[in-house]
Structure 1
Amino acid sequence: MDKAPPFLLLLLVVILFFILYRIFRHYLGQKSSKLPPGPHQYPIVGNMFQLSGIFHSTLAKLSKTYGPLMSIKVLNRRMIIVSSPKVAKELLQKHDHLYTSKLVLDSARAFDYHKFSIIWLPVNGQWHNLRKLCKEQIFSSERLNASQGLRQEKLQQLCNYVDGCCINGEAVDIGEAAFTTILNILSNTLFSVDFGNYESNSSRELKEIISGVVDTIAKPNLSDFFPVLRAIDPLGIRRQTKFYFGKLLQKFEEIIRQRLQEREKSLAYLRRNDLLEVLLDLTQQQKSEWGIEEIKHLLLDLFLAAFDTTSSTVEWAIAELLRNPEKMERARSEIREIIGRGKLVQESQIFALPYLQAIIKEVFRLYPPATTISRYYEADIEIGQYIVPKNALVLVNLWAIGRDSSLWSSPDSFVPERFLDSEIDVKGQHFELLPFGTGRRMCLGMPLADRFIHLTVASLIHNFDWKTEGGIKPEDVDMSEKLGVTMQKAVPLKAIPTRTTV
């Protein structure tokens, strides 16, 4: 990838000193305001050098000193950190009407992604149309129920692959296997084709592209703090994002072009029951606001949102069950009591597996797919004796809430039993547990992700037992996390499956 020439770094220094007066004035002006408490802020840099390491865990440590509503500053940006469900509920629910569009990261401007993406669009007509389309054509209960057969087929392929590894004594990369499974579920939902193969590198290549996007977006970018630098992209982050976006958009364009040719030239064309067929129908309607660019960017949204979160959650779940074999055995016994041996778990049977549900909730508590929820508000908001200033970046630290000792006993321990006989769910109404967010910006893919995660974990433990690769003791499995905007294991989990005999 291209690196910024040295003269650009020199230019950056000049620009920083040029705006020194403005920053100092802003810094001094905030001292007399009713901002929430926070660590001492240094001129120009603010708290930047106090935020090293894993961002959400560093914020959690600071919040133990300064409270559940904390103010920090990074360069010229004010951030308000929320670390309690009570404050989160007041901001995310009571003041939702003051929510304004998200800050558009400079990396999201590659290929004008921010002008098409449901992730970055403000709440306007285009955004509502996209959400309505996704809800009705992909994630509605009716659509999901109709496509159960597809998910069962792909889960059976996963089990067949694991069974082959049993025979050969090979280790399974849990995250990669889960990624291939959800990849094929989504690619068939969208295009009626498989994108991945357990025995080839095709899934790995796509995972590297998607991980590349996520990792690049996670990097601190000076252009986000100083918009005047966007023209030169001093750290090359937008160029890196464009590289990865380009690979995905090119793949989508090839599929769209081929489908259009089939629709136009073949008299015997058989319609597919997939999203692409629906989207192409929309583009051919009179006065349609849909075009090929809109289709490609919607597909990009769906791919980026689906993979790291769902496959990583499965990986965290199996890792914790490996470290807690008695809990894996309890879950397996529950499944066999309801389902029996040698059968795939059906989606309609998930409700009858309370311990499995408790396991997934506990994984969400410890390892939320996105560690923070971000918001901007168009007006000052009063919370108790403090003011959350308009246009500040508000971050709700889900990771901190999930490990708060005032909310959870033994907060760092894996204890699914805490969710048995508990009414807490993940649908956005219980602010102790918000893995999919809440309100208007809640993750649209929650219904599919929730089904997939339960079914995949159940499939992997139902008829297979697991042991760590290389003779590592279960309690020594590396549970460190990777730096990024999503919760991923730093060291991929590889485990050897064996057929259960009991």
Structure 2
Amino acid sequence: MVTKLLGPQALERSQGVRAKEVERFYSNLLDKALKNETVEIAEEAMKLVNNSLCKMIMGRSCSEEDGEAERVRGLVNKSDALTKKLFLATILHKPLKKLGISLFEEELMDVSRQFDEVLERILVEYEEKAEEHHQGTDMMDVLLKACRDENAVCKITRNHIKAMFVDLFIAGTDTSTHTIEWIMAEIMNNSYILERLREEIDSVVGNTRLVQETDLPNLPYLQATVKEGLRLHPSSPIVIRTFEEGCRIGGFYIPEKTKLVINGYAIMRDPNNWEDPLEFKPERFLDSSRSSQKDAIKDEVLRYIAFGSGRRGCPGANLAYVSVETAIGVMVQCFDWKIKGDKINLNEAAGKITITMAHPLKCSLVPRTQISLSSK
């Protein structure tokens, strides 16, 4: 996953793939704008993220025409609903087992079977078109080669490959989708942030091409806005870890194998850590607002844990940043957004593991600038 998908070199190699999907994302939004259609941000973001991930993994996006893409997105949503139950089952496994209660086996198997059917069809199609493909460099190519290697030290099966893809879809799609939605809602609620973002993008990118990943290092306020969105609305607010060894913390002895539940949501809204913690202030993440590099490192490690921290931190953090930042950049650069009322309702939906908006963000949009795409 690191060498073929998520590492710095892999991300550089797949930059063109994501750029094409961003162009398609822009074209879809522009089409809806010209037709005066309402846009549901999460729905469009989900298509962008899911298609980018599919293309990076297996060289093609899921088909919209035959319902394949919609089916995958539906399964991701079902999996998200099951995550809450799985979280409770992980914490309460022993008492539930003693009571003889089935840990949602029927629901899990149903989702598993449906994922298996979709992904097996994709694998078969990929193998049939192998000669048209690449030179064995795709992540899919590497995994299938390892699967066929009878002398491999670590033998993997087709089920391992499909399970890995399910992990990637669930971990990468829903989280980035809702992050984009939350950040756009905050931007629309704060006109001065919108204007500052536009000034930065216009000065660096202009209005003749779309924001690209190579522009991001020169867009510090955009990066700070995304970071602030993840601080205030972390997609995965709770993280579970297990103690490998017994130890003492604060005078208490913690036995080995103890489950530790880390409330990142509370840590990143703690007034002891953050000034005005409930306010959306991207400025807090600009380098100029920090007194020293040491403070910046402390912020990253101890107070800002949107992607966890340390060796067990999320391996997809870099991909998430570039994907979300580019999507937000294009939406801010190219469109004016109109909502009903003066402010967007930022209430959270109850009972979700991934933090989602109680009321999906729907807007009408007007093209601010129309950009000629290279692919047309």
* TM-score normalised according to structure 1 size: 0.67
Which of 138, 142, 158 is the matching residue for 1:278? Answer: 142
* Contact in 2 for aligned 1:370/1:485 (Cα 8 Å): yes
Following superposition, the deviation at residue 300 of structure 1 comes to 1.4
Which of 334, 337, 348 is the matching residue for 1:463? Answer: 334
Cα distance change, pair 200–466 in 1 and its aligned pair in 2 (3 A):
farther
* Contact in 2 for aligned 1:331/1:356 (Cα 8 Å): yes
Which of 238, 241, 262 is the matching residue for 1:372? Answer: 238
Following superposition, the deviation at residue 316 of structure 1 comes to 0.5
How far does the alpha carbon of each residue in 1:299-357 deviate from its partner, in whole angstroms, 9 at most, with x for none? 11111111111111101000101111221111011101100013111212111111111
Cα distance change, pair 426–295 in 1 and its aligned pair in 2 (3 A):
farther
Task: Measure, in 2, the Cα distance between the counterparts of 1:280 and 1:195.
Answer: 19
Structure 2 residue matching 1:296: 3-state secondary structure: helix
* Contact in 1 for aligned 2:89/2:103 (Cα 8 Å): no
Structure 1 residue matching 2:303: 3-state secondary structure: coil
Following superposition, the deviation at residue 500 of structure 1 comes to 2.1
Structure 2 residue matching 1:193: 3-state secondary structure: coil
Match of 2:36 in 1: 169
Q: In structure 2, list runs of 5 or more residues that go unmatched.
A: 371-376
Matched, 1:438 2:316: no
* Contact in 2 for aligned 1:180/1:196 (Cα 8 Å): no
Match of 2:374 in 1: none
Following superposition, the deviation at residue 283 of structure 1 comes to 1.9
Tell me which amino acid in the other structure corresponds to 2:232.
L
Which deviates further from its counterpart, 367-376 or 224-233? 224-233
Match of 1:399 in 2: 265
Match of 1:499 in 2: 367
* TM-score normalised according to structure 2 size: 0.88
Cα distance change, pair 158–300 in 1 and its aligned pair in 2 (3 A):
same
Match of 2:345 in 1: 477
* Contact in 2 for aligned 1:426/1:434 (Cα 8 Å): no
* Contact in 1 for aligned 2:68/2:118 (Cα 8 Å): no
Cα distance change, pair 386–276 in 1 and its aligned pair in 2 (3 A):
same
* Contact in 1 for aligned 2:245/2:257 (Cα 8 Å): yes
How far does the alpha carbon of each residue in 1:183-203 deviate from its partner, in whole angstroms, 9 at most, with x for none? 111111122222154x99654
Following superposition, the deviation at residue 402 of structure 1 comes to 1.0
Cα distance change, pair 290–501 in 1 and its aligned pair in 2 (3 A):
closer
State which structure, 1 or 2, has the greater radius of gyration over its C-alpha atoms: 1
Task: Measure, in 1, the Cα distance between the counterparts of 2:250 and 2:365.
Answer: 53
RMSD: 2.6
The percent identity for this pair of structures is 26
Following superposition, the deviation at residue 379 of structure 1 comes to 3.2
Match of 1:193 in 2: 60
Runs of 4+ in 1 over 6 A off after TM superposition: 424-428
- 1:298-447 to 2 correspondences below 5 Å: 298-420=164-286, 421=288, 422=290, 429-447=300-318
Which of 347, 354, 361 is the matching residue for 1:486? Answer: 354
Task: Measure, in 1, the Cα distance between the counterparts of 2:90 and 2:48.
Answer: 37
Q: In structure 1, list runs of 5 or more residues that go unmatched.
A: 1-133
Aligned residues, how many? 361
